């Protein structure tokens, strides 16, 4: 992924900062912060990646930061070429966190959030995967930790543990790397690199730099400043020690939202079947997260990001053979899950029509049933897109073959109803009627000819 280039760059800067930290002397006593030079806060990105056709889900993630309480922390090395004092973090309760502009430690996503699509395989997007560009999109949030109130007392590296906990209502979301044995928790190790400002002022700044007193004020007492933050994916007593482990450095959390599509279709067959007739098909979705929105697609569109349909409403008008509805219908482009985790909608399809409900979270249940009316119903198995295997933890088809129930969706599914109506017409009706009729007509014609000839003969004799 392109994120590796950014991680490598961040890691290189972090190692340089660490080497600089090793070169400065230690100081003791209470510390004040240099407001100009110090970095009092750090941002952590949260990426939620999903299929191009899925909507952003309702999901929440809680973040807590605590001191890294480990005896090994004091001896941990930040690089193979330099070693500095590493302390368990202090004043963790004084660290404030904010998500974007909200003063909270909770990141929430909602269907109203925007999502970015990678449109170019070469674009430098941190979350993007080049080999699947155009098939995924990402919603991004930012978590900011503010260390302004933390009372660091000496230069060194202060280690903290960040714990991310996914909300119990999250569905079909895969956690990032660094997952602990604790249920639904993901860890990051955060190192805060603290320097002595007076040493930096004396040994690093040039005489010309010191003339810019607004940027580099003269030190007053034991001033400290935070030079950098280093984030590691996971929970580590010792930080990665050489370049082969740079991939463990991070600056974000990346979660994947796994969804699938449900395609529903109608085919009609038989010498007495009407291919213009609409049938009512009911889709009932359950075990979903409240507020989730599903896009409904219709076939034969030109949308580059869908394989079989657009988000355009279609109008349906009944004909003389349609009894399931009597007035024109407008079919939806979107379904919204209710507070009880369910949503139900009736669609109307005729021969060779298909619709697709997109973005069903993995594990969601559904039932699809039709009103076959006077037709004989049958239904194909619930299949993968390739037709390789049946899907769902379990699925059932009722005896009438007009209803399919899937307990948990685990792939792109297809439910196609075929309605058949065939009539056996009596044969030979025209032949059996026409035969005697022709004979009768010939007989009558013969009698008429004889009568006419008889009249003529009598007339001649007179």
Q: How many domains does the chain have?
A: 2
More confident residue, 23 or 63: 63
| pLDDT (0 to 100) of residue 140 | 94
CA–CA dist 310, 333 (Å, integer): 9
Whether 441 maps to a domain, the answer reads no
Of 386, 403, 420, which closes a domain?
Answer: 420
Rounded to whole angstroms, how far apart are CA atoms 250 and 106?
20
Q: Are residues 28 and 58 in the same domain?
A: yes
**pLDDT band, residue 380 (cuts 50/70/90):** confident
Structural domain containing residue 173: 3-257
Residues 29 and 42 in one domain: yes
Question: Would you say residue 108 has pLDDT above 70?
Answer: yes
User: Do the Cβ atoms of 447 and 428 come closer than 8 Å?
Assistant: no
- pTM (2 d.p.): 0.76
- Above pLDDT 70, what percent of the chain? 69
How much is the average pLDDT of 248-252? 77
Q: Quick check: is 364 in a domain?
A: yes
pLDDT at residue 186, as a whole number: 78
> First CA to last CA across the chain, in angstroms?
121
Among 375, 378, 335, which residue's Cα sits nearest to residue 356?
Answer: 335
- Cβ pair 204, 216 in contact under 8 A: no
Q: Residue 308 class from Cβ within 10 Å (0-12 exposed, 13-18 middle, 19+ buried)?
A: middle
360 and 334 in a common domain: yes
**Token pair of 175 as six digits:** 């956690």
Same domain, 82 and 231: yes
Q: Are residues 65 and 207 in the same domain?
A: yes
**Residues 76-105: tens digit of each pLDDT:** 444 434 456 678 889 999 998 887 667 778
Instruction: Please provide residue 22's backbone torsions phi and psi, each rounded to the nearest 5 degrees.
Output: -65, -25
Looking at 209, 240, 257, the residue that finishes a domain is 257
The answer on pLDDT for 343 being more than 70 is: yes
What average pLDDT does this structure show over 167-179?
74
Please compute the mean of the pLDDT values over residues 384-400 and round it to a whole number: 73
- Does 70 have pLDDT greater than 60? yes
Pairing outcome for strands 413-420 and 259-269: parallel
Q: What's the distance, CA 96 to chain centroid? A: 30
> What integer is the mean pLDDT of 244-253?
70
- Apex 172 CA angle, 170 and 6, nearest 5: 90
Where does residue 369 rank: exposed (0-12), middle (13-18), buried (19+ CB within 10 A)?
Answer: buried
Reply yes or no on whether the pLDDT at 14 is more than 90.
Answer: no
Distance CA 5, CA 58 (A): 31
Rounded mean pLDDT, 254-281: 92
For tokens 């999903």, the residue is: 50
- Residue 363 domain flag: yes
Position 5 confidence tier, pLDDT thresholds 50, 70, 90? very low
Q: DSSP letters along 336-352, please?
A: E--TTS-EEEEEEE-TT
pLDDT of amino acid 27: 32
CB atoms within 10 A of CB 3: 20
SS3 79: coil
The fraction of the chain above a pLDDT of 90, given in percent, is 31
194 and 338 share a domain?
A: no
Return the number of other C-beta atoms located less than 10 Å from residue 270's C-beta.
15
Q: Which range has highest mean pLDDT (59-68, 311-320, 421-430)?
A: 59-68
| Reported confidence tier of residue 204, pLDDT bands at 50, 70, 90 | confident
Q: Would you mind telling me the total number of residues written for the chain in this entry? A: 462
CATH number of residue 189's parent domain? 2.60.40.3050
The tokens for 200 are 């930096």
Report residue 280 as tokens. 């009512």
> Does the pLDDT value for residue 246 go beyond 70?
no
Mean pLDDT of 356-369: 94
Residue among 134, 103, 129 nearest 47 (CA): 129
231 in the same domain as 300: no
CATH of the domain at 294: 2.60.40.1140
């Amino acid at each position: 992924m392109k994120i590796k280039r950014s991680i490598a760059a961040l890691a290189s800067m972090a190692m340089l900062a660490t080497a600089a930290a090793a070169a400065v002397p230690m100081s003791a006593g209470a510390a004040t912060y240099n407001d100009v030079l110090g970095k009092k806060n750090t941002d952590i990105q949260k990426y939620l990646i999903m299929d191009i056709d899925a909507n952003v889900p309702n999901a929440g993630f809680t973040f807590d930061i605590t001191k890294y309480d480990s005896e090994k922390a004091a001896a941990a090395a930040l690089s193979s070429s330099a070693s500095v004092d590493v302390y368990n973090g202090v004043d963790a309760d004084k660290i404030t966190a904010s998500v974007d502009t909200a003063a909270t430690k909770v990141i929430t996503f909602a269907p109203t959030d925007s999502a970015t699509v990678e449109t170019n395989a070469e674009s430098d997007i941190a979350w993007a995967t080049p080999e699947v560009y155009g098939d995924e999109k990402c919603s991004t949030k930012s978590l900011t930790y503010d260390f302004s109130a933390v009372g660091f007392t000496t230069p060194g590296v202060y280690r903290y543990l960040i714990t991310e906990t996914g909300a119990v209502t999250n569905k079909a979301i895969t956690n990032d790397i660094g997952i602990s044995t604790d249920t639904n928790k993901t860890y990051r190790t955060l190192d805060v690199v603290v320097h002595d400002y007076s040493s930096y002022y004396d040994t690093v700044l040039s005489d010309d730099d010191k003339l810019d007193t607004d940027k580099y004020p003269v030190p007053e007492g034991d001033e400290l400043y935070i030079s950098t933050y280093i984030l590691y994916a996971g929970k580590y007593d010792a930080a990665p020690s050489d370049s082969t482990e740079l991939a463990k450095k991070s600056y974000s959390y990346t979660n994947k939202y796994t969804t699938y599509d449900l395609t529903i279709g109608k085919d009609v067959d038989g010498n007495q079947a009407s291919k213009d007739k609409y049938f009512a098909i009911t889709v009932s979705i359950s075990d979903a997260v409240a507020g989730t929105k599903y896009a409904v697609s219709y076939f034969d569109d030109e949308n580059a990001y869908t394989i079989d349909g657009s988000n355009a409403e279609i109008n349906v008008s009944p004909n003389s053979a349609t009894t399931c509805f009597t007035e024109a219908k407008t079919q939806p482009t979107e379904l919204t899950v209710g507070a009880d985790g369910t949503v139900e909608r009736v669609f109307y399809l005729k021969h060779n029509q298909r619709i697709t409900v997109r973005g069903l979270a993995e594990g969601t249940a559904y039932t699809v049933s039709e009103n076959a009316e006077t037709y004989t119903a049958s239904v194909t198995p619930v299949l993968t897109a390739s037709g390789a295997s049946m899907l769902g933890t379990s699925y059932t088809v009722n005896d009438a073959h007009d209803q399919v129930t899937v307990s948990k969706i685990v792939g792109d599914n297809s439910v196609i109803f075929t309605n058949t109506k065939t009539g056996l017409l009596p044969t030979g009706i025209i032949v059996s009627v026409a035969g005697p009729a022709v004979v009768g007509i010939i007989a009558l014609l013969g009698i008429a000819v004889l009568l006419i000839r008889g009249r003529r003969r009598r007339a001649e004799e007179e």
